Structure 1
Amino acid sequence: MNRKSLRGSLLLLLGSVIWGAAFVAQRVGMDHMGPYTFTGIRMLLAWLVMIPVTLWMDRRNKKEPGYQAPDFKEQRISGVACGLLLFIATSLQQMGLVSTTAGKAGFITALYVVLVPVAAWLMFRKNPGKIIWLGVAIAVVALWLLCMPAGGSLALQGGDLLVLGCAVAFTFQILCVDHFAPRVSSVKLARDEFLVTGALSMLIALMTETITGEGIREALVPILYTGILSGAAGYTLQVLGQRDTDPTVASLLMCLEAVFAVLTGALLLGEKMTVRETVGCIMMFTAVILAQLSPVISSIRRNGRSHR
């Protein structure tokens, strides 16, 4: 694995840690306001945080020798496209959660770990390789152990189909970021993605939900965490990390948020990890390690064949 690929993987891993811990904040925040209000406020906060960051990055980059500004039109298209997909994914998930369990929703959402390599193969003829496919299979079993209760059924109901649509939307959001991240300013892509998602969420919130100052005050800490860390930091880490990471490997790393959600629940809320969850965590880490070792193993095989 080269240095850039390792850096990208570490950024995605850090993003997964932040997202995993955000489950606690989201659960508390939703006690005081509607889902679209909460998503809208935190995404617009993330957008505001990213404005000075992008200005600072612009000034720094312009001082670099050979600096070339990204194409303005492509930059805007990337933010709108990725932001629209992120908005669709989060909206479908919120609507699906009304009539399905959190565990089943978490498992179905994380099925993008399978959908990403399938979509990449169908659309771009990108085959991630046998070892990564093995990692994907292990990850699916791990997610089942982490998200689904013992004896849980995967019979799809109405809410489950909405969450499955969320997984499809997240699949295309990951592929969209994979397409644009190496060609545009990554921090501006993240900034514009937040604006599109936040503005659309607030528009629906104003039409369908009651927004109160008291609710915002009660949910201020969760809003700050999910807006600044889970939003601005987490999704920016995704965009930066995906520049140098295969989309299938990226999806595996991002699925680690399920592991970190269990771990932070145990650390912050005193929740006890079951044997089932412990096995799921170990299997998920195994899947990620296989994905990271895949390029090394493939290189060894190629070199072995070349010496015969």
Structure 2
Amino acid sequence: MVKNNAIWMSPLFILIWSTGFIIARYGMPHAEPLTFLAIRFFGVILILLPCILWFKAPWPSKSQIVHLAIAGVLIQFGYLAGVWIAIRHGMPVGLTALIVGLQPILTAVFVSLLAEKITRSQWQGLFLGLFGVFLVLYAQINIAGVNAQTIFFNITGLLSITVGTIYQKKYCAQFDLRTGSLIQFITSLGLATIGAFLFETREVEWVLELIGALVWGIVGISIGAMSLLFILIRRGNATKVSSLMYLTPPTTAIMGWILFNEPLTILVGFGTLLTMLGVLIVNQTISFNFLRRFD
């Protein structure tokens, strides 16, 4: 049953997670990054808290609360704030996605230094997937808007999601999704609010596009996709889970074609196939060893 659940959870997670850059496109013009995130985190809390009280969800221990808060700062606040601020200050979305796309490789490097064994075929799959992501994003990559500031925030986002995933897997993988998520979002809300008051004007244009982006960001991504991510982290190793992130750019490209009539080129199609192949190899669904049969 667990294995069957994982079959549908992984593609559903990718499908929802990939909408992150879509809501950035809708919401970014109408609210500054930290202001948007503060409102989004507050909205998540307003949904989670009544659910926790109604169902009397169990609370984690004091030590686990600390670990959850740290993981939340990295996964929820650090990643989103870093990526959104970089884009807001001019970093091209394609280049942002490519840099964040380094997460599976970076995760593999970190966990191989700690304890988790990465096989040769998994390394091959990781680099194949990264090359596929590069092909998908090739036409969108340019250096306009690239400077020390945008690179800093982009790398901050990359390191945050990478370290946060490993940290949560190691120290607090088992927790009630409702209370654990609440702790993470309360911590993230505090940091986003402080940042918004210190560095932003906090002006918001309450237009339909922003409201739609907020609603989907709250319900679809922060509650839906994050819950799926936490379940996947709990059940699988960090490298396999992070490899799923390779599928985000191809999925986003398809969404851009559907929503914004953006072109889908042969290069995007080929890159998508390579990315999917790389993820399958990392998750050991297939292996390069099958090629030896034809030698």
Match of 2:139 in 1: 149
Preserved CA contact (<8 Å) 1:49 1:232: no
For residues 26-52 of structure 1, give each alpha carbon's deviation from its aligned partner in whole angstroms, at most 9, with x where no partner exists: 211111111111111112212222224
Q: 1:83 aligns with which of 54, 72, 80?
A: 72
Match of 2:293 in 1: none
Preserved CA contact (<8 Å) 1:9 1:245: no
C-alpha distance in 1 between matches for 2:209 and 2:253: 25
* TM alignment of 1:130-149, pairs within 5 A: 130-149=120-139
1:234 and 2:225 matched: yes
Preserved CA contact (<8 Å) 2:31 2:205: no
Q: 2:45 aligns with which of 44, 47, 51?
A: 47
Q: In structure 1, what residue type is equivalent to 2:9?
A: L
C-alpha distance in 2 between matches for 1:293 and 1:244: 15
C-alpha distance in 1 between matches for 2:26 and 2:199: 21
Match of 2:190 in 1: 199
Preserved CA contact (<8 Å) 2:26 2:210: yes
Match of 1:277 in 2: 268
1:175 and 2:194 matched: no
Q: 2:14 aligns with which of 13, 16, 21?
A: 16
The DSSP-based 3-state class of the residue aligned with 2:228 is helix
Preserved CA contact (<8 Å) 1:36 1:204: yes
Residue-pair matches, total: 285
C-alpha distance in 1 between matches for 2:7 and 2:172: 15
C-alpha distance in 2 between matches for 1:157 and 1:78: 34
Q: TM-score normalized by structure 1?
A: 0.82
Preserved CA contact (<8 Å) 1:135 1:288: yes
The DSSP-based 3-state class of the residue aligned with 2:29 is coil
Preserved CA contact (<8 Å) 2:104 2:239: yes
C-alpha distance in 2 between matches for 1:150 and 1:29: 20
Q: In structure 1, what residue type is equivalent to 2:174?
A: R
C-alpha distance in 2 between matches for 1:272 and 1:150: 11
Match of 1:93 in 2: 83
In 2 relative to 1, CA 188–8 (structure 1 residues): closer, same or farther, beyond 3 Å? farther
Q: In structure 2, what residue type is equivalent to 1:114?
A: I
C-alpha distance in 1 between matches for 2:49 and 2:132: 38
The DSSP-based 3-state class of the residue aligned with 1:31 is helix
C-alpha distance in 2 between matches for 1:225 and 1:279: 30
Match of 1:64 in 2: none
CA RMSD of aligned residues (A): 2.8
In 2 relative to 1, CA 252–103 (structure 1 residues): closer, same or farther, beyond 3 Å? same
Q: In structure 2, what residue type is equivalent to 1:88?
A: G
Q: Which runs of 5+ in 2 are unaligned?
A: 291-295
Deviation of 1:216 after TM superposition, in Å, equals: 6.6
- 225-234 or 95-104: which moved more? 95-104
Percent pairwise identity = 18
In 2 relative to 1, CA 170–109 (structure 1 residues): closer, same or farther, beyond 3 Å? same
Deviation of 1:189 after TM superposition, in Å, equals: 2.2
1:105 and 2:103 matched: no
For residues 281-303 of structure 1, give each alpha carbon's deviation from its aligned partner in whole angstroms, at most 9, with x where no partner exists: 11111112222335x869x9xxx
In 2 relative to 1, CA 147–187 (structure 1 residues): closer, same or farther, beyond 3 Å? farther
C-alpha distance in 1 between matches for 2:107 and 2:174: 20
Deviation of 1:141 after TM superposition, in Å, equals: 0.4
C-alpha distance in 2 between matches for 1:27 and 1:151: 17
Q: In structure 1, what residue type is equivalent to 2:69?
A: V
Preserved CA contact (<8 Å) 1:70 1:183: no
Preserved CA contact (<8 Å) 1:112 1:251: yes
Q: In structure 1, what residue type is equivalent to 2:267?
A: R
For residues 4-63 of structure 1, give each alpha carbon's deviation from its aligned partner in whole angstroms, at most 9, with x where no partner exists: 35534642431221121232222111111111111111122122222244445646xxxx
C-alpha distance in 1 between matches for 2:119 and 2:70: 28
C-alpha distance in 1 between matches for 2:15 and 2:136: 16
C-alpha distance in 1 between matches for 2:256 and 2:213: 15
Preserved CA contact (<8 Å) 1:78 1:189: no
In 2 relative to 1, CA 4–202 (structure 1 residues): closer, same or farther, beyond 3 Å? same
